[in-house]
Amino acid sequence: MKNLLIFVMFAGVLAIVILFGLPRFPRQENAVQRPQPSPWNSGAIQSTFAGAQVQEADGTHATLMFFFDLDNNTDADYRFAKGAATVVMTRLKSNGSLSSEEPIELNNSVFLPARNRTRIAVQVTRPFNWPTGLPAGQIGPVNQVKFRQLVADEVGNLSGFVMFDTATHFQIELPGGWQELQPSASAAGLN
């Protein structure tokens, strides 16, 4: 009986060591050579489209920003660093394929507390002759068309964005809420 107790205690300690100790050790070389891709977790964090913004970068460029609210459904905090670790791609409306043709990036590094909602922004810069002499009150209709057209041309053929955090292997779908936008002036027979 004493041996049984000792065995059980030993098994418990061994399990704890395996669970907490081994992950801290560096992987073996063969494991590095043949990394096993882990599936992307797309359910832990969900997002909602929050809006679009056009910022003047300079006289000839504008930055389009798309805001999303991220809901962290887990009990862990996460950080999404702006840079190579976080890849933002577009999802085409036509067939749902991912595309990296557009150089879209995360606006800033994001801290996502557990069980919280955080707003993030992805952005893309486009050549755009910023209208001069915009009135302080209400923007004119022509310029509204220009800005609207700018946004529509950017996202008209997209169903949304997808953000991949290569560090945590989280996949966050950033759905588009711009269905009201007309894709471009060509839709009106201009093209």
Partner 1 sequence: MTDEAEQNSESRPISVPANDRRAHPRQRIRSLAYVHLGESNGGIVLNISESGLALQAAEALDAGESPLAMRIEIPRSRKPLEVSGEIVWVGESRKEAGLRFVDLKEGALKRIRAWMAREESPGTAHEESEEEVEQPVARDVEVRAESIATEEALAGREHHAAETEELAAQNDEEPVEFDEESADGPAEALEEEPLEVTEDAAVAMEASSGVAEEPSAAAPVTRKEEDRARMIAPPVLTFEKQPHAANLPQTLISGTHGAPALAVAAAQATSARYSTGDAASSLFPRARVSAAPAAADDGWKSFRVQLRSGWFLAALVLLLATISFIAGMAVRRGALNRVMGDVDDAAQPKSAPASGNLPGNLPASPNGNGPGAAASTAPAKPLQIEIVDLENRRWTIPAATGSNHDDASTTRQTQANGAMSSDGSAPAASASKLPSQDSAQGAAAAAKPGAPLMLSLPETPISASGSVAIRATGIVPMPAGETQPGQRARNLQIGELINLVEPVYPPDARQARLEGTVKLHIVVGTNGEVESFHPVSGPDSLAHAAMIAVREWRYRPTLLNGKAVQTQEDVTFVFRLPN
| 50 contacts partner 1 (rule: CB under 8 A) | yes
Does residue 54 contact residue 61 with C-beta atoms inside 8 Å?
Answer: no
Burial class (CB in 10 A: 0-12, 13-18, 19+), 66: buried
Name which of residues 87 to 126 contact partner 1 (CB under 8 A): 101, 103, 117, 119, 126
| 55 contacts partner 1 (rule: CB under 8 A) | yes
| 138 contacts partner 1 (rule: CB under 8 A) | yes
Does residue 70 contact residue 118 with C-beta atoms inside 8 Å?
Answer: yes
Name which of residues 140 to 159 contact partner 1 (CB under 8 A): 140-151, 153
Does residue 92 contact residue 157 with C-beta atoms inside 8 Å?
Answer: yes
17 phi and psi, to 5 degrees? -65, -40
| 188 contacts partner 1 (rule: CB under 8 A) | yes
User: 81 or 102: whose CB is closer to partner 1?
Assistant: 102
| 174 contacts partner 1 (rule: CB under 8 A) | yes
Stretch touching partner 1 by CB under 8 A, among 24-32, 68-76, 79-87, 92-100: 68-76
CB of 106 to partner 1, least distance (A): 15
Stretch touching partner 1 by CB under 8 A, among 25-33, 46-54, 80-88, 92-100: 46-54
For Cα atoms 105, 71, 116, give the angle at the middle one, nearest 5 degrees.
115
| 1 contacts partner 1 (rule: CB under 8 A) | yes
Sign of dihedral through CA atoms 149, 150, 151, 153?
positive
